[in-house]
Amino acid sequence: MSAKGGSSDGNIHHIKDVAALAGASPATASRVLSGNPATAAESRQRVAATVTQLDFRPNAQARALRSTRTNVIVTAAPLNSAPMYCGFGHRPAPPKEQVQ
């Protein structure tokens, strides 16, 4: 998944696209995606089918703006001052494939 959301087909879909294809309002699509029980079962089924069809994934950055929570953990450590911190926060390099 890219940082901007979207789908595996490379297109970026918005909640308005999901709502239009499902025949619902953007507010209804939003309620279904957030798990609000105040939606009709038929609407939930249509929106869920459309989400699957479009491979829709909510944009995490947009959700963070709306909710004021980013769900990101930030760490700060002096990387070069002590050997204990040298590998902290870094992913190890993926193993190289063996060439035959």
Model pLDDT for residues 28-82, shown as the tens digit of each residue: 999 999 889 989 999 999 999 999 999 998 888 877 887 777 778 777 766 566 6
Structure tokens at 31: 């309620």
In the chain, where are the structural domains located? Answer: 15-85
For 28, other C-beta atoms within 10 Å of its C-beta total 21
pTM: 0.58
Angle between helices 41-54 and 26-34 (to 10 degrees): 90
| Rounded Cα–Cα distance for residues 50 and 91 (Å) | 36
Per residue in 6-35, pLDDT tens? 555 667 888 999 999 999 999 999 999 988
| Rounded Cα–Cα distance for residues 38 and 3 (Å) | 30
Topology of the domain covering 15-85:
434 Repressor (Amino-terminal Domain) (1.10.260)
